[in-house]
Structure 1
Amino acid sequence: MNSLQTLLVATDLSAPSRHAAQRAAMLAQQAGARLELVHVLERGSLDELRRLFHDDGEAAQGRVREQAREALSQLTSEVGETLGVSAGHHLLEGAVLDSIGMQAELLNAALLIIGARGASGMRAWLLGATAERLLGLTRRPILLVRQAPREPYRKVIVAVDCSPWSMQSIRLAQAVAPSARLILLHAYDVPFEGKMRLAGVDDDMIKRYAAKEHQEVFLRLKQSAREAGIPASWQQQVIHGDAAAVILQQQEEEGADLIVLGKHGVGMVEELLLGSVTKHVLAEARCDTLVAAR
């Protein structure tokens, strides 16, 4: 099981990022982990502020730094004291995502936690892209927090593809939600189904292929659960269909409060497809989402 020794919250000091800090404090208390908060002042914005205020530019920059330092210190104290967790904080300047990624590596963070702003359409897709870029900058798993936390996670969907990376996702889910009911979910398509139809393969033959795939995956999921030592209360779901659509639909139907999925699949094609699935789920899910790193 993953050891959550250090948790790093990246905050922009907004209300959604406060939810992320609260969830991180809850996880730190649960795991006995060290909690750290980081806020990054974007260097370009500071330079623009100095240009606009001319002779008073340095003083304006100083006021912004001091306000950010006070707000970050206050947030750190509030989330830490509420749950009796000792927390540290870091005020950085530079490119935001690069700075967050470097701080996660510097602290050897077991988990990077960020808040999700309520958004739809293009902004939601940009949110998914932002989390994807952070995953490219650090090898740390990322938890995207959407909801104000009220209790530990209770029901978790773990999207698995039966690759070695799936075990990493399962163990991460166990570390973050040790008391939750886990649902191991595998969505699959019949290989070359479209080409088989074009070649005149009848529906019965395709159904037999699908049934065989279903049974093989079912057995592999059981094996993965045994290897991970998951308690007997876990569920498994093997569903034919588009992976992102299946994950989102099952989250709604099951009322899951967390989705866990991996960044990589099996081989280059699957890796690219899973990247698309990950971004889609990050943008569209209504619950918190945890992405295991490579």
Structure 2
Amino acid sequence: MSERISITTEPTAPPLGGLLAATDFSTGAQAAAQRAATLAQELGTPLTVLHVLQHDWMTELATWLGDPQPRQRILADARASLEAVVRALQAQHTVAVDAALVEGHPVRDIDGFARQCQARCVVLGASGRGGALLPLLGTTVERLLRKAAYPVLMVRQAPRRGYHRVLVAVDFSPWTESAVALVDTIAPRADVWLLHAYAVPFEEKLRFAGVDDETIERYRQHSRERALHGLHHLAQQRGWPSTRYQTVLHEGDAAPAIVDEAVQRECDLVVIGKHGTSAAEELLLGSVTKHALAQVPCDVLVSPLRTPA
């Protein structure tokens, strides 16, 4: 008889500072758990797999049926499913895996668990049991990102290896440096493209004011040169050699540029800050970040951290 997996219901029991993979046992969540285990093995860090049973639904079911037995069966099924996930991960990866089963609210309890355990990163699948992709960003992924004080990795593809081709969206906001730094943690051996989308400041107003094309072109060239200098400066701060990264400048909107470049360069990961330069408060999720989460075909890593002012 196989040994029973120990499953905690206390958020302080698993090791601190590891990775946290939230699962609803869907196909998307399975890919996320596999990616989390791959990363945990590469980083030499423990992994906790968390499943949250929605308390309101469980309570309503018991009340409607007038019988607590279905609730106990659901708990037992969830525990068995969680054990199966852990066993599968341990069979394929050399990594310490803990499991936690919590009854509560998915967003609140994933966030609370991550904070209590000081998770280095929370890993989620891009779609849940309904199979919906992100137009339904308004559910668990987006709401968790609004609260997150830790990196969140949204997994779209089942992992075949560690990340090898990474696109980092750079807007020189306070979130940029932390996003670039995450590459060294999550994808230390990957080839990196640093992408910045720029525009001539107030170009429409300049043209309306009668500024000539030659002057506007000088402004455009100045914007490019300043952006290029900034990208190289970010890489140099990380100590990256010139062979580690390439710079990509795009004139125009950042959101479609991120998607196009990720596809064109066959990236397996896009890294982006939680907000952009126009973010008004930390409860908001930047529009470019939302677009990337919804549209890029690969995994997306969102950094919620900002450099001090």
TM-score of the superposition, structure 2-length normalised? 0.87
Aligned counterparts of 2:39 and 2:235: Cα–Cα separation in 1: 23
1:184 aligned to 2:197? no
Q: Confirm or deny: 8 A CA contact 2:276 2:288 kept in the other structure.
A: no
Aligned to 1:39: 51
Aligned to 2:3: none
Taking the TM superposition and a 5 Å limit, the aligned residue runs for 1:226-237 are 226-233=236-243, 234-237=245-248
Of 201-210 and 165-174, deviating more is 201-210
| Matched-pair identity in % | 42
Taking the TM superposition and a 5 Å limit, the aligned residue runs for 1:130-169 are 130-169=140-179
Question: Deviation digits for residues 189-234 of structure 1, max 9, x if unmatched?
Answer: 2222232233333333322211101101101111111111123221
Letter in 1 for 2:25: L
Q: What is the root-mean-square deviation of aligned Cα atoms in Å? A: 2.3
Q: What SS does the corresponding residue of 1:33 show, helix, strand or coil?
A: coil
Aligned counterparts of 2:281 and 2:219: Cα–Cα separation in 1: 20
* Residues 235, 112 of structure 1: alpha-carbon distance in 2 compared, 3 angstrom cutoff: same
Between Structure 1 and Structure 2, the one with more helix by share is: 1
Letter in 2 for 1:244: A
Task: Find 2:229's aligned residue among 199, 205, 219.
Answer: 219
Taking the TM superposition and a 5 Å limit, the aligned residue runs for 1:241-256 are 241-256=252-267
Q: Confirm or deny: 8 A CA contact 1:128 1:279 kept in the other structure.
A: no
Q: Report the alpha carbon displacement of residue 128 of structure 1 after superposing the two structures with TM.
A: 6.1
1:260 aligned to 2:258? no
Aligned counterparts of 2:174 and 2:283: Cα–Cα separation in 1: 17
Aligned to 1:277: 288
TM-score of the superposition, structure 1-length normalised? 0.91
Q: Confirm or deny: 8 A CA contact 1:140 1:292 kept in the other structure.
A: yes
Aligned counterparts of 1:70 and 1:131: Cα–Cα separation in 2: 25
Aligned counterparts of 1:77 and 1:64: Cα–Cα separation in 2: 20
Aligned counterparts of 2:223 and 2:282: Cα–Cα separation in 1: 20
Structure 2 spans left out of the alignment, 5+ residues:
1-15
* Residues 114, 275 of structure 1: alpha-carbon distance in 2 compared, 3 angstrom cutoff: same
Q: Report the alpha carbon displacement of residue 137 of structure 1 after superposing the two structures with TM.
A: 2.1
Give the number of equivalent residue pairs: 288
Q: Report the alpha carbon displacement of residue 187 of structure 1 after superposing the two structures with TM.
A: 0.8
